[in-house]
Structure 1
Amino acid sequence: MFKPFADYLSNKRFASLDGLRAISIMAVIWHHTAPAGINEILASIGAQGVQLFFAISGFLITTLLLRERERNGKIDLKAFYLRRSLRIFPLYYGTLALYIVLVYVLERHSEPGQAFFHNLIYFATYTSNIFVALDGRVIFYFAWSLAAEEQFYLVWPPLLLLAGSVKRASIILISVIAVCIVSQMAGQHAFDIIQLPIVIGALLAIGLNNESHFSWLYRILGQTWSAPVFFMALLLVLLGNILPGFIASILFAGLVGACVIQERHPLGPVLSLKPIAYLGSISYGMYMLHMLCKNFVTKLFSALQIHEPGIAVFLLTLIVATVIASISFRYYESWFLNLKTRFER
């Protein structure tokens, strides 16, 4: 067996992924707190942090499913959905309940507040990415990305199971990717609810799980230069803002692949720094709570009559979100995560 492939299969936890999650959540918070007057592209680049989350999710979930089938000869869908539910639902619905109380108390008579209650059914059913448009200030709009992920979790595992072979599963993914790219190039929006990075991430996982495919992927993703080159190429594409969106989607998945195909890469020491890895480990809580933290920070600066706080809004929001997410993880989410271990395969 090709030694790098054997090393990859024996890796039970991809340490760099927490570091990538940390970059993702910091980018998202930057997008929502960038000071007025900053370059528009530089401010909006943070929105792409969500796309990196998607690529990680597509890769990781597919890898876990493939390895479960390799170990047990089957995929236990019931256990999979129980694990996902225990990880995602408690914080999601807990945060949604908190929003319901706050919006009712503070904004029930405002237009955004009334729209929030109108959209509540879509937030509660993970369909806001389909039915809720970004038109002005939309409370809880950030849930669109979680809706997209949840739809992937709902559809992809049964498809992988029904496909039987990884070859047929790959054909399904390649077909979806091709349709999405053609649709993008044609300026059509019929397939916009499909997040391309999550699909490419799933295809990456299938490729890395097969020794012959792994060998040629390793020539691209497994070199010393691979991770930093993908990272820099991604930055240039996002800053340039002139290439089709699917190029960035491919680069997001490429960056994930370069960081997991081998643990020793130049970005590894940075991504595995304890503070960075810790942010990644609580990134879900930070994502769910960061808009509440941002609103608190902006109201605090307003009360202190600091009218142009600049980058301080980002820094303080990051700090507050870290503290609140840490408390949530330790005293709330962890209880459900302990239950989740009963369904590990």
Structure 2
Amino acid sequence: MASTVQAALHDPIQTHGRIEWLDGWRTIALLFVVVEHWNLLYHPEQSLYGKAGVFIFFAISGYIVTRLLIREKSRRGEVDFAAFYIRRAARILPPLLIYLAACLLVLGWDQALAAELARSAMFTCNIKLGPSDCSWIVGHTWSLAFEEQFYLLLPFAFASFAARRTLVLLLPALALVLLPVFLPLHWIGVSGWVQIYMLLGGGALLAWHEERLMPLLKRIPWYAALMSLVLGIALSRIPGGLVQKLTLPVAPVGILIGVFALPNVSDRARRFLGWRPMATLGLYSYTLYLWQQLVFMEGMFTQWWSQALAFFGALAFSAFSFRFIETPFRDLGRRLSPPRAAAQPAT
């Protein structure tokens, strides 16, 4: 385990702790979502590949967060749950709360809207709960809801398996994670829930067993990795039904293989994903993912040029947010959760 972390710390593809080709994947994922939502303004019944973009985000998220837990355990010898959640809150909440406040300011006070914004802030927009159901303006935060629910489970699972303890630690978190299965799911359905946890769990599994699994991925020819990605993206578009159930595992497995194998077996793909404009836009992807929903809200901007201007305005704000909001809050989260010294063995 220590060797895995040391390799990560000295990985030449990282800059200031970031894996640049993963930022490139964030850019591609974001573009899938943006094109989908822009297209919906003109063709409301036509779905493209926005879900594939969100699936890529899920695969990356499971991998990155597990890698951070591995690094922390290597340094301290255990997982600090409070520190983990402080850092996650500092990363996720400030841009989200600013976006929700802006929605209230732009759209005006309305009790139903306020209820939706509260649902989004509590990360429950992936579940249908009656009259306060999440509409377009916060509907995209269903993906954040799944991620935050996964974060309830991951540290407990990590600590349990790393220490080879019983699964008792997992039970409360597992109950919360499974709750959406017993309630109507918004946007994605139960089959989608399974695919999402395959992506989140698959990314986590790759990080946990990186020394074993990454060499296997590196044996895949670049064209096979590319075809795997294309197949996963294509199958992610299949609507709920029998065909989706029969092909259910193929989309997440294809995307996982493509995302993590392609930049490791193709220097050209690796350079493209790590290219400065690609990696830089990936840095802004979280805030831009939030704000593009307001840009492409029906009736908000009615001309293509006004939509384009609004989108570039959102991009400019995302760059500002990363520099002056997200980075300071991320640093604050680190200061509020400093790594404690690892316990010394008794002598």
TM-score, with normalisation over the residues of structure 1?
A: 0.74
1:34-49 aligned within 5 A: 34=39, 43-49=47-53
| 8 Å contact kept, 2:160–2:166 | no
> SS where residue 139 of structure 2 aligns?
coil
Of 196, 200, 204, which aligns to 2:206?
A: 204
Superposition deviation, residue 271 in structure 1? 1.0
> SS where residue 255 of structure 1 aligns?
helix
The match for 1:119 is 116
CA distance 1:237–1:19, change in 2 (3 Å): same
| Residue 249 in structure 1 maps to residue 237 in structure 2 | no
| Residue 322 in structure 1 maps to residue 325 in structure 2 | no
Counterpart residue type for residue 76 of structure 1: D
> SS where residue 219 of structure 1 aligns?
coil
The match for 1:258 is 261
Counterpart residue type for residue 64 of structure 1: L
> SS where residue 249 of structure 2 aligns?
helix
The match for 1:155 is 153
Superposition deviation, residue 239 in structure 1? 6.4
Structure 1 unpaired stretches of 5+ = 109-113
1:256-289 Cα shifts (integer Å, max 9, x gaps) = 32156x4863311211121111110010010111
The higher-RCO structure (CA 8 Å, 6+ apart) is: 1
| 8 Å contact kept, 1:237–1:248 | yes
CA distance 1:253–1:316, change in 2 (3 Å): farther
Superposition deviation, residue 190 in structure 1? 5.3
| 8 Å contact kept, 1:282–1:329 | yes
Superposition deviation, residue 219 in structure 1? 2.7
| Residue 102 in structure 1 maps to residue 100 in structure 2 | no
Superposition deviation, residue 81 in structure 1? 1.2
CA distance 1:38–1:267, change in 2 (3 Å): farther
| 8 Å contact kept, 1:57–1:198 | yes
Counterpart residue type for residue 39 of structure 2: A
| 8 Å contact kept, 1:16–1:259 | no
Moved more, 232-241 or 279-288: 232-241
Query: Sequence identity of aligned pairs in percent?
Result: 29
The alignment's C-alpha RMSD in Å is 3.7
Counterpart residue type for residue 288 of structure 2: M
Counterpart residue type for residue 219 of structure 1: R
- The number of equivalent residue pairs is 307
Structure 2 unpaired stretches of 5+ = 12-16, 182-187, 340-347
Distance 1:167 1:217 in 2: 30
| 8 Å contact kept, 2:34–2:50 | yes
Distance 1:83 1:5 in 2: 19
CA distance 1:4–1:63, change in 2 (3 Å): closer
TM-score, with normalisation over the residues of structure 2?
A: 0.74
Distance 1:80 1:5 in 2: 18
Counterpart residue type for residue 148 of structure 1: F
